[in-house]
Amino acid sequence: MESLSISGIVIRFLLGGSAVVASTIISRKLGSKMGGIFAAFPAVFLAALLTLRLDAKGSELVEKSIVLSQGAVVGMFINIMCAIGAVYFCTKQGWKRGLTQSIAGWFLISIIFAVISGYF
Amino acid sequence: MDRRDLFFRFLFGGSAVVLSYVTAKLLPWKVIGGIFAAFPAVMVVAVMMVGMKKGSKDAAKTAQGSVYGMIGGFICVLTVLFSLQLTQNWWGSFISGLITWFASSLFLVYMRDHKKENRASNIKLEH
């Protein structure tokens, strides 16, 4: 078990909350599709980068950020699959079941990737 | 626009991202924790809120927009990665990642709409 960082929590809370509010305002003004762009704001990735900056400096910061970004490439790819699944399932089965199924799909793909990449 | 509604959304969105971070850190199984660190919390909350207010059709549209946003996110991560490797400039890479996320997402939505318009006008011309 790792320790939690208060600054990490605050940065994530502010970025996550702001992205949802921006998505809502833009959906109402410019349509749901444009709002959806902000729904996919990479809050988790950017918050993780900002949190790294609080703990490391100089070349150590750059090195840690490169390692984080390499992991995030895979995470983002799985998230694209999840969003495509959400479009398909929300259209076919309604938003409640659709969203649940796409999250289940995201979890399954992530586990499979973790197994394949020899994480265990 | 109702300020209380926006405040509630802010709290809910922020809490979802924090919850995925706390889950990632506190779970004793490192693999599951690592997976939750990449949970698309903002998209899930945004689609859920649109679904609750406007129904499944608009929720699917938000999800469709988020596909472009996620592709933009993928491009953002690649930009940060390559920019860091090439320049070693942390702030420059961070800002260029943000710009490429927004620009590429907008470009994809524009291209998609433009393609649809072209298809619709071609069908009209055929008739």
Q: How does DSSP assign B58-124, residue by residue?
A: HHHHHHHHHHHHHHHHHHHHHHHHHHHHHH--HHHHHHHHHHHHHHHHHHHHHHHHHHHHHHHHHHH
The answer to whether the beta carbons of residues B59 and A99 sit under 8 Å apart is yes
pLDDT at A28 over 70: yes
Model pLDDT, residue B78: 94
Indicate the residue of B13, B31, B43 with minimum beta-carbon distance to A120.
B31
Question: How many Cα atoms within 13 Å fall on the side-chain side of residue A17?
Answer: 17
pLDDT at B127 over 80: no
Contacts of B38 in chain A (CB under 8 A): 44, 71-72, 74-76, 78-79, 110
Model pLDDT, residue A120: 52
The answer to whether the beta carbons of residues B84 and B90 sit under 8 Å apart is yes
Model pLDDT, residue B85: 94
Enumerate the domain spans of chain B.
65-126
- How many Cβ atoms are within 10 Å of A54's Cβ, its own excluded? 12
Average of per-residue pLDDT across A70-84: 88
Closest chain B C-alpha to A6 CA, distance in angstroms: 10
Alpha-carbon gap, residue A31 to A28, rounded angstroms: 6
Average of per-residue pLDDT across B89-101: 93
pTM for the predicted model, two decimal places: 0.80
* End-to-end CA separation in angstroms for chain B: 43
Alpha-carbon gap, residue B13 to B21, rounded angstroms: 13
Model pLDDT, residue A118: 67
What number of H helices and E strands is found in chain A? 5, 0
Of residues B53 and B96, more confidently modeled: B96
Determine which of A34-43, A87-96, B16-25, B100-109 has the lowest per-residue pLDDT on average: A34-43
Of residues A91 and B38, more confidently modeled: A91
Model pLDDT, residue B84: 94
Model pLDDT, residue B42: 81
Average of per-residue pLDDT across A84-111: 92
Phi and psi torsions of A4, nearest 5°: -90, 145
Percentage of chain A exceeding pLDDT 90:
24
B40: nearest CA in chain A? A79
pLDDT tens, residue by residue, B43-54: 888 888 889 888
Contacts of B105 in chain A (CB under 8 A): 37, 40
Average of per-residue pLDDT across B79-104: 93
Contacts of A91 in chain B (CB under 8 A): 56-57, 60
Alpha-carbon gap, residue A95 to A93, rounded angstroms: 7
pLDDT at B55 over 60: yes
Contacts of A24 in chain B (CB under 8 A): 6, 9, 46, 49
Average of per-residue pLDDT across B33-44: 76
B75: nearest CA in chain A? A73
Closest chain A C-alpha to B126 CA, distance in angstroms: 29
pLDDT at B10 over 80: yes
Residue A45 touches chain B, beta carbons under 8 Å: yes
Q: What confidence category does residue A21 fall into, taking pLDDT thresholds of 50, 70 and 90? A: confident
Average of per-residue pLDDT across A73-95: 90
pLDDT at B31 over 90: no
Model pLDDT, residue A84: 93
Average of per-residue pLDDT across B22-44: 75
Is A120 in Cβ contact with B61 (below 8 Å)? no
Model pLDDT, residue A1: 53
